Amino acid sequence: MSAAEVVVTGVGAITPLGGTATELWDGLLAGRSGVRRIDELFADFPHGDEIGTRIAAPMAVDPASLMERVQARRMDRCEQAAVVAARQAWEQAGAPEVDPVRLATVIGTGIGGLTTLLGQDDALESVGPRRVSPLTVPMLMANGPAAMVSIERGAQAGVYTPVSACASGAEALAQAARMIRAGEADVVIAGGSEAAIAPLTVSAFGQARTLSTRNDDPQAASRPFDVDRDGFVLGEGAGVMILERADFAAARGATVLGRLAGYGISSDAYHITGPDPSGAGQARAMLAAVASAGLQPQDITHVNAHATSTVVGDPGEAAAVQRALGDQVVLTAPKSALGHLVGAAGAVESIITMKTVAEGVIPPTLNLHTKDEKIELDVVAGEPRTVNLAAALCNSFGFGGQNVSVLFTA
């Protein structure tokens, strides 16, 4: 067993489908949606009635309820979510006994402590500087989730925070695997966290015309690959994996859940929000992940698609997948059930992808009634599909032209 091999020994998640990774998986297989109306968010907000989108996918469980009250008050919601997911993953991994200088943390986020920033700005403007919390900066800074997890576990091999928009969580996993392969750490706590459902973000994404406005039917709003899709649904949550050097995990008798066998990162250098319409950058990321795993494109028969339910993004990704890997690939799109978790999306969906390979079951894409004719690949819809997979890719693409693909094997 090669020392460069990276294995997964624990996972944790808090998402719109539940407070654990098990609830996430069970909810996907059952075809549940975590999208709902969020009218309460705008109840006391000036001009709230002018905001066109009234739906989102909040975490099903308040992360603050899963930790001590005093501790929770000292963290932003995205930090709370990261700590909760990391605790779950660490426990499932059997609380590895590892030298602190060989333990690292890599937790990505796209936006960071937005709710803290907005809340403290309100306090400043309405009451004055004496009402601004002295904990404001550590609660709003983007590296807060990674730092909080690192402090709790005493991880001293480095604490890193990829901030690459919607690719942040996947990039964190890639960075963690790279550290292990390079011999910089034996164990890495890696993933992504996001909690940025607020009037500002909903308004901003709405003004950019990227959000669904299917307010009267929230659970049918996120419709990746469907001809009637009209934008994504903003979600929140966190996903964390415990990654280990394979021989280190074997020596301590750890149960291996799967293998992070490859990763690929590329950039479009095309547009700040729109993907390169040629799909070349996305294809390069996928092919790099395949090569990193020592596989061939024809070995990949399943891709967990980034597929946010936007008019341009979905067919572009499908074409890029087909271009890179061939016609044999079967797609699924968990954002149909979860909404778009932004910086946490890649980490949460990597857990789903790894579970798909391990269980031999692909969760269905919800709300796919009439597939867009531009989508030539097979998309799992309706019911879960039993398959025999040797490997699968998870795609995450972000504003700024950032493309990340992570490859899992059993």
pLDDT band at 334 (very low <50, low <70, confident <90, very high): very high
pLDDT digits (tens, 9 = 90+) for 354-364: 999 999 999 99
What are phi and psi for residue 215, nearest 5 degrees? -65, -30
pLDDT band at 49 (very low <50, low <70, confident <90, very high): confident
Give me the count of residues in the chain: 410
CATH number at residue 273: 3.40.47.10
Is the pLDDT confidence value at 1 over 50?
Answer: no
Q: Are residues 186 and 252 in the same domain?
A: yes
Q: What is the pLDDT of residue 3?
A: 43
Neighbours of 143 (CB within 10 A): 18
- Whether residue 166 contacts residue 110, with contact meaning beta carbons closer than 8 Å, is answered with yes
Q: Is residue 1 one of the residues assigned to a domain?
A: no
- CA–CA distance from 276 to each of 128, 223, 231, 266 (Å)? 46, 22, 18, 12
pLDDT digits (tens, 9 = 90+) for 355-402: 999 999 999 999 999 999 999 999 999 999 999 999 999 999 999 999
Is the pLDDT confidence value at 159 over 50?
Answer: yes
* Last residue within a domain, chosen from 258, 291, 323: 258
pLDDT digits (tens, 9 = 90+) for 106-154: 999 999 999 999 999 999 999 999 999 999 999 999 999 999 999 999 9
DSSP letters along 195-250, please? ---SHHHHHHHHHTT-B---TTSGGGS--TTBTT---B-BB-EEEEEEEEEHHHHH
Q: Are residues 387 and 267 in the same domain?
A: yes
Q: What is the pLDDT of residue 2?
A: 44
Q: Is residue 158 one of the residues assigned to a domain?
A: yes
The helix (run of H) or strand (run of E) holding residue 160 is strand 159-160
Average pLDDT rounded to a whole number, residues 184-190: 98
Q: Are residues 306 and 189 in the same domain?
A: no
Rounded distance between C-alpha atoms, residue 302 and residue 342, angstroms: 22
Rounded distance between C-alpha atoms, residue 409 and residue 393, angstroms: 9
Q: What is the pLDDT of residue 87?
A: 98
Residue with tokens 């309405």: 126
Q: Are residues 98 and 176 in the same domain?
A: yes
Is the pLDDT confidence value at 296 over 50?
Answer: yes
Containing structural domain, residue 401: 261-409
Q: Is residue 111 one of the residues assigned to a domain?
A: yes
Q: How many domains does the chain have?
A: 2
Q: Are residues 64 and 102 in the same domain?
A: yes
Is the pLDDT confidence value at 67 over 60?
Answer: yes
Average pLDDT rounded to a whole number, residues 206-229: 97
Q: Are residues 272 and 237 in the same domain?
A: no
Which positions are catalytic?
A: 166
Report the predicted TM-score, pTM, of the whole model to 2 decimal places. Answer: 0.97
Q: Chain-wide mean pLDDT for the chain? A: 97
pLDDT above 90 as % of the chain:
97
